[in-house]
Chain A
Amino acid sequence: MSESNGRITTRGAVVMRAEAVTKAYGGTHALRGVDFELRVGEVTALIGENGAGKSTLMKILAGVEQPSSGTITLDGEVVAFANPTEALSRGVAIIHQELSLCLNMSIADNIFLGRERVRNGAVDFAAQREETVQLLERLEEPLDPRTTAADLRLGQQQIVEIARALSEDARILIMDEPTSALSHAEVQVLFRLIRELTSRGVSVVYISHHLDECLELADTAVVLRDGEIVARAPMAEVDLPWIVSQMVGRESGDLYAPMAYDPGEVLLSLDGVVVSDPDSPGRLAARDVSFDVHAGEVVGIYGLMGAGRTELLEALAGRNPILAGSVTLDGKDLTGLSVEDRIDRGLILVPEDRQRDGLVQVLSVGRNMALASVGKFVQGLFLNPKPESELLAETARGVKVKMAGFDAAIGSLSGGNQQKVVIGKALMTEPRVVVLDEPTRGIDVGAKADIFALMASQAREGRAVLFATSELDEVLYASDRIIVMARGRVVAELDPRTTSREQLMAIADSPAQATNARNEA
């Protein structure tokens, strides 16, 4: 741990370097031979779509994960961090995309968690509070260090996370979506702080879906696509269209052409729906959302992180209450109905997080798939296994799930097949409206194609399909109609046949301009 001697501090010199780094999870590669370098006092924006490998690369730099192959050098010396604490002791700090505060503890306790200031064998709470006050002053967020983290707004919690990284005097600061919960004013404070840090020789890696932020802040842009670095350029030489075309890997105008479709009557109708954020009930996740979904069409909701897609869909399914507005299915009001009533009426959700919300790990494939529709097989007191196994077999063929059998453990399936089981579970209820939240998250390309084909075929059978995604290509490819959400509002309704990636991204990114550019499909 010899820190002082070999430190590289010359402005513009490479301080940290990743060479030929690969990372494989099971059989899938998240990173394939990535070369990446960080220079003293510079902000490097790491840009790419979801699943491009940005977070994985940063986790490797910060010691959260270890590369499958390749080397990391810091100050010209090869390092292999076993854990984040080791990386931190060398000055590499990371602010994660997911907030990781202990909500039951105070701000000061959180900032010094795991490296408490100790004096005479006891924690020196006064010194910790003192330092916390100073850190928060630098961030222009004068909070009482004794405030419990649970009492903070999401944005304030994010600032505490940032303060924690700063408290360690990091030389390399990795920020993974630090602004997703910040207000515009808070973002400006953060930017000032980042500039102050870089002027003192700190190197920053900045990851954000908001490309305008990257343009404003970064010195260098690095674009990652499918686990490989596809472009690298000084920020002064590039513009938004260049970044987008590098991200998506095609020149603009190169569209998939969704099939012509023939929408039927309105099945699902939202009118002025308001939903609060279940994690922080004071914040509204969706405001005044109105749109219709017709029989026979696939409607895609596109939006960046924090746009309110998941909260809206969960409220449609009955998990979270709808604060205002109405939702009707086939003209009948769904207000106040439970999840099971809505499933009976024909609306079911395929949730975003299949491990947490979609699957029961202790149950077999068959039991999981039949879970939402067991009521169909009740005869007298007992379940009749014959129609159940028949419908299971039929559904499994329909969703093309590959498995050893219905008795197989759900954990023995690949991610794509697990997702097909969750979709099969929804289809077994014979729904009229299928709602899917990020249906292709964390699954491979082949399974993605299967799932999109399935969504299309469900719509052709007269169902209404509503899905949400944060991936440009997917929403353009799989939708008959696109609804764009930003910060809780519907900002545009677009026709995928006449919309380019650039337009879509620009609208989702800057909601203020987009409201004028409403383009009825």
Chain B
Amino acid sequence: MTATQQSPKTSGSVATTGRTRRPIIGDRGVGEFLLDQRAFVALIVLVIVFALLSDAFLTPSNLITMTKHVAYNAILALGMLLVITTAGIDLSVGSIVGLSGIVAGVMLQGWQLSLFDVTAYPAVWVVIIVALAVGALVGSLNGLLVTRFNVAPFIATLGTMYIARGAALLISNGSTFPKLQGDPELGNTGFSFLGVARPLGIPTAIWIMVAFAIVIALLVNKTRFGRWLYATGGNERAAQLSGVPVKKVKMRVYIISGICAAMAGLIIASELTSAAPQTGNTFELNAIAAVVIGGASLAGGRGTVKGALIGAFVIGFLSDGLVLVGVSSFWQTVIKGLVIVLAVILDQGQERLKKARAAAQAAQSVKQEAAEREAAKAA
């Protein structure tokens, strides 16, 4: 019973394991590589099929238009990804899209501050910040319900989904705010930049999507918060005992998700130059679908920015492509459903494969250790 029976050879192997770059396909075989990259493969297949069916599909202008459509959902999906990684869900994002548009609409149309009996016309940057803050506020309400009052995320965000939608209807009295381009005399023009402008020939919405994706990818992969995020979703009890402030983590993901949703709402309001209280209805479901197609697990702990983005592209390109080749919108809905279900089935298959491999490795290492012990005993 001494520690010296461990052979120095085996403990030395530890030191050599730095950052080893994995081979792209490696020893796993092509089939498994494709399974691993299934969302990306699905996207390529979609592009090829639609390019064959329609000449218009692969033109630069169509690709840009489709990507712009993808952008709102992708921004929502990025926030949703964080929430789902903690094993939560955020059903309120669609309503936040509507609410943030209405908040922007109210302020650009003239913000009646009855207390002071004046109508304020805040500058566009103020409008944007206030709208994002409203998204953050709804998100923090979600976080508070989940962490402080122990409401299940599904129920908490179902509640705020109705509350935010109701708030949007109340503020707007159910009607649409038109003409959000502003008035040069009032100094509040420029809102159209978000949804209409095309810096360097590419719509602002796409730039925003790219910026959000980079920020969230850095957050997830390079920061302490990213580590906390995966640990919280993977095993909350273990994370907590390791000193991870799991409540803080959950609070933050709902706030970020709310901000993402508010941003999407602003882009849509800007593009339409009007804000309707019903905007964003059922958007939360598209965002969840994108995240799931991208390989995230609703049980938490698993999911990547790349996956969520590809998922958003799959859903967006699928919808637009089906429109382009003239498939009826009823069939579009059915096909979208099939894709989501298929994605999850493949995901389950891959998980089983991974678990089986890990179990086999563990059994192997146990045998090896037993053999080494025998050898040490014999020596």
Contact = CB atoms under 8 A, between A and B. Distances in A.
A340 B10 CA distance: 34
Contacts of B19: 385, 389
B58 interface: no
Interface in B296-315: 297, 301-302
Contact of B245 (A340, A371, A445): A340
Q: Which among A26, A351, A444 has the greatest number of chain B C-beta atoms within 10 A? A: A26
Contacts of B228: 374
Contacts of B333: none
B160 to A, nearest CB: 27
B230 A362 contact: yes
A383 B227 CA distance: 10
B241 A360 contact: no
Contacts of A453: 2-3
Shortest Cβ-Cβ A-B pairs, 7 listed: A27-B366, A453-B3, A411-B358, A412-B361, A360-B234, A405-B17, A340-B243
B227 A26 contact: no
13 contacts: A26-B362, A339-B240, A371-B242, A372-B243, A389-B18, A402-B14, A409-B354, A411-B355, A411-B362, A413-B365, A446-B6, A449-B3, A453-B2
B138 to A, nearest CB: 26
B231 A360 contact: yes
A446 B5 CA distance: 8
Given A360-B234, A361-B235, A406-B17, A371 B227 contact: yes
Interface in A351-403: 351, 356-363, 367, 370-372, 374-375, 377-378, 381-383, 385, 389, 393, 396-397, 400-403
Interface stretch (B25-33, B145-153, B216-224, B261-269): B216-224
B197 interface: no
Contacts of A356: 235, 237-238
B230 A360 contact: yes
Contacts of B198: none
Secondary structure type dominating chain A contacts: helix
A344 to B, nearest CB: 8
Instruction: Kindly name the residue among B242, B297, B361 whose own CB sees the greatest number of chain A CB atoms within 10 A.
Output: B242
A278 to B, nearest CB: 12
A407 B20 contact: yes
B367 A27 contact: yes
Interface string A79-110: 00000000000000000000000000000000
Q: How many A residues touch the partner, as a band?
A: 35 or more
Contacts of B244: 340, 371
Contacts of A335: none
B7 to A, nearest CB: 10
A376 to B, nearest CB: 10
B118 interface: no
Given A357-B238, A389-B19, 19 more contacts: A28-B370, A357-B241, A358-B241, A359-B235, A360-B238, A360-B239, A362-B234, A371-B227, A374-B224, A374-B228, A381-B223, A385-B19, A393-B15, A400-B3, A404-B361, A409-B358, A414-B366, A449-B2, A453-B3
B1 interface: yes
B233 to A, nearest CB: 8
Contact of B239 (A27, A371, A397, A405): A371
B366 to A, nearest CB: 4
Contacts of B366: 26-28, 414-415, 444
Nearest to A389: B18
A362 B302 contact: yes
A99 B218 CA distance: 46
A431 B233 CA distance: 26
Contacts of A377: 224
A343 interface: yes
Nearest to B222: A382
A319 interface: yes
Contact of A417 (B222, B233, B365): B365
A349 interface: yes
Interface in A448-502: 448-450, 452-454, 477
A382 B242 contact: no
Contacts of B302: 362
A26 B363 contact: yes
A69 B104 CA distance: 73
A357 B238 CA distance: 4
Interface string A418-432: 000000010001000
B183 interface: no
A210 B337 CA distance: 59
B243 A360 contact: no
Contact of A361 (B1, B3, B234, B370): B234
A402 B369 contact: yes
Contacts of A452: 1
Contacts of A381: 218, 222-223
B359 interface: yes
Contacts of A370: 227
Contacts of A407: 17, 20, 22
B114 interface: no
Nearest to B226: A383
A396 B241 contact: no
Contact of B243 (A343, A357, A406): A343
A312 interface: no
A397 B15 contact: yes
A486 B96 CA distance: 56
A393 B19 CA distance: 11
Contacts of A317: 241
B297 to A, nearest CB: 8
Interface string B144-175: 00000000000000000000000000000000
Contacts of B355: 411
B227 to A, nearest CB: 5
A396 B358 contact: no
Contacts of A338: 245
B363 A319 contact: no
B363 A27 contact: yes
Residue from the set B17, B223, B227, B245 with the largest chain A CB neighbour count within 10 Å: B17
